[in-house]
Chain A
Amino acid sequence: MQGFAYEAPSSLEALRARLAAAQGAGELAQVLAGGTDLLVQMKQGQRAPGLILDIKRVGETQALEADSETLTIGASVPAAKAKAFPLVAEAFPGLAHAIDLIGSSQIQGRASLGGNLCNASPAGDTIPALIANGFEAQILTADGLRTLPVEAFVTGVGKNALASGEVLLALKAPVPGPRSGDAYQRFTPRTEMDIAVVGVGARLTQDEAGVLTSARIALGAVAPQAFLAEAAGAALVGTRGEPEALEAAAAAAMEMAKPISDKRGSADFRRRICGVLVKRVVAQALERCTTGGAK
């Protein structure tokens, strides 16, 4: 790795001040959380920052908490810890599954959801699950905080909406009420240690009669960035998730998917798998609306 300075500020104020100083000095600062993408990129010469700012000692980035309304996952909380958090395991089983698909046990011990999001791989497994669940990114700016929906945070292959001097602090989502369920599934040629060829996340909510009042479907690995497939969700709202409604949602998603062909799958294959996964994921999330629970 090319030489760099290492600092680990222990408060938001110290982090903000150090970022401002780096900007003023024209120093290329890079935030470090779990490092499972960053250190590999640095070892391979793809990134050569002059300053590494380790944010794991800033308390806000290590938050993992919930009240009756909001789940907060700090940007540097490791995946293993996030997926074991009781509310995540119980009320967000789709997200928990997406987290569990990241790399190996060793990678999950360090990799953070914030890092998975900032790295902005089109195939990042947690991103569609975060989008489907309505997560917002809380961002530290030069003079305050701002929030962005996760679907607006990812802007391209490896690109995110952070301006120079900004840092992702935490991810926040509304705690789901009754008759609500989420799911995430991906297609990979192998069962483990692989990267999504297509990934689909869903969060559904029903009324007391079983009619869907809200449906958020997010697609991964079929466009430069994961995105909210609004038309697919719209095809489900007002239905009970009957087979025709699932077909309509799948057709809408396939229409919105703009995949590329590469060694892991042709564009046509990806589009078809996208339709299949939308139906499976919606069926699973529907089941969780009634069983209310994980697994």
Chain B
Amino acid sequence: MKVHVQTEVNGEAVEFLCDPTTTLLDVLRDNLGLRGSKEGCGTGDCGACSVELDGALACSCLILAAETQGRSVATIEGVATPEALHPLQSHLLKSAGLQCGVCTPGIVVAAKHLLEQDPNPTEEAVRYFLAGNLCRCTGYDKIIRAVLDAAAEMRGEAA
């Protein structure tokens, strides 16, 4: 039997029918057309599908879509405004913190969550916090630099 779910995604009310076995990641990509969140491993190891559920950082591949009834979901699609990229996004571009780009949406969502908790993290803190976001292209250094530069810009310091 299909489950009827009413929830909120990036501030907008959405409604969908899904099989109980469907993950939030599948609904985002297949029902709602939000294809920024990627499926890397499907087992919560790679972080490419990172979203926030009621403000908690999580892998959307390990959330059943039915669980989001009445909750609030934030995805990569809600990070930039129509006018401007988020500082994390512009610094990832500037630092060349991506190559193939599959891990990038998850990294932006996770790093944004970190900077909201801690606007001035150490390099070590950033590395630990993003340990669950795997990148097979960059070697991480440029990503970490971009996050630290974005944090500095967001604090009003020259990056």
A residues neighboring B (CB under 8 Å): 1-6, 8, 32, 35-36, 39-40, 43-44, 52, 54, 56, 78, 80-81, 103-110, 192-193
Contacts and interface: CB of A to CB of B under 8 A. Distances in A.
B93 interface: no
Nearest to A42: B21
B146 to A, nearest CB: 17
Could you tell me the dominant secondary structure of chain B's interface residues? Answer: mixed
Interface of B: 1, 3, 19-21, 23, 42-45, 47, 50, 53, 56-59, 62-64, 66-67, 69, 110, 113-114, 128-133
Contact of A39 (B19, B64, B69, B128): B64
B20 A6 contact: yes
A54 B67 contact: yes
B64 A5 contact: no
B30 to A, nearest CB: 15
26 contacts: A3-B19, A3-B20, A4-B21, A5-B20, A6-B3, A35-B62, A35-B63, A35-B64, A39-B44, A40-B43, A40-B44, A43-B43, A52-B20, A80-B57, A104-B132, A104-B133, A105-B113, A105-B130, A105-B131, A108-B57, A109-B56, A109-B58, A110-B62, A110-B63, A192-B128, A193-B131
A5 B42 CA distance: 21
Contacts of A81: 56
Given A104-B132, A105-B113, A106-B58, A4 B20 contact: yes
Nearest to A194: B131
Contact of B59 (A2, A80, A106): A106
Which 10 A-B pairs have CB atoms at the shortest separation, nearest pair first?
A104-B132, A6-B20, A109-B56, A109-B57, A192-B131, A109-B58, A1-B21, A6-B66, A110-B58, A106-B59
Kindly name the residue among A36, A40, A106, A108 whose own CB sees the greatest number of chain B CB atoms within 10 A. Answer: A106
A40 B62 contact: yes
Contacts of B23: 39
Given A39-B64, A52-B20, A110 B56 contact: yes
Contacts of A56: 67
B94 to A, nearest CB: 24
Contact of A6 (B43, B47, B57, B64): B64
Nearest to A110: B58
Contact of B1 (A5, A32, A106): A5
